[in-house]
Amino acid sequence: MPNKRDRRDDRILDPEILDDVESVPTTDLRRRRDECRELEAEFSYARRLLQGKIDILGAELKRRSEGGDAGMSDLVSRLPSILADEPRSGGTTRLVESELPGNAGKYRRQTERLATGLADIESSSPEELSAMVEELAREERKVSEDRRRAQRIIDGLNAELVRRYQKGEEDPSALLSS
């Protein structure tokens, strides 16, 4: 499952990570923030994979319910419009790294395991496709929740860095030389 976390993820998403921020050296604070940003990028990537599968299956279910053209060639020809980046409701918008995250292969494999029926979409029943959509949507909600947690931690770490610069505890010009 894409939201299956390892020890690194648990350490980074530990709710207590923000408890001691005022006493953490600035270099450690930046390291924590950068690790959390990397994890947030991984969750964003996993969400996009899951959403793409959901969109493809949803389009196939809609085609079937409306009596559209049968066959994979129709589905393949519609992929660009199915997968077009359209805003989703209820989500938060953040700048997303354009590079693949370090664990991209892990998330791709896990998502493929969830959507194994996609390879055999033509012979799957509407009930099977709907069940797959539901499972993928559940997983997408879990990944989204983890992503929001990472974003809250990033915001907390950034707030502490800003506080230090505003109070004169750190020299912001040091950032320009690094």
pLDDT in tens, 18-44: 999 999 999 999 999 999 999 999 899
CA–CA separation, 125 and 133 (whole Å): 12
DSSP string, 133-169: HHHHHHHHHHHHHHHHHHHHHHHHHHHHHHHHHHTTS
Higher pLDDT, 173 or 35: 35
Contact between 76 and 132 under an 8 Å Cβ cutoff? The reply is no
Higher pLDDT, 31 or 67: 31
Contact between 140 and 47 under an 8 Å Cβ cutoff? The reply is yes
Task: Domain ranges for the chain, please list them.
Answer: 25-83+101-168
For the cut 70, the answer to whether the pLDDT of residue 98 exceeds it is no
Q: What is the mean pLDDT of residues 99-118?
A: 70
Neighbours of 132 (CB within 10 A): 21
Q: What is the mean pLDDT of residues 98-104?
A: 67
Length of the chain: 178
Contact between 143 and 46 under an 8 Å Cβ cutoff? The reply is yes
For the cut 60, the answer to whether the pLDDT of residue 126 exceeds it is yes
CA–CA separation, 21 and 39 (whole Å): 19
Contact between 50 and 111 under an 8 Å Cβ cutoff? The reply is yes
- Which pTM value belongs to this model? 0.78
For the cut 70, the answer to whether the pLDDT of residue 141 exceeds it is yes
For the cut 60, the answer to whether the pLDDT of residue 96 exceeds it is no
Using only C-alpha atoms, what is the Rg of the chain? 20
For the cut 80, the answer to whether the pLDDT of residue 109 exceeds it is no
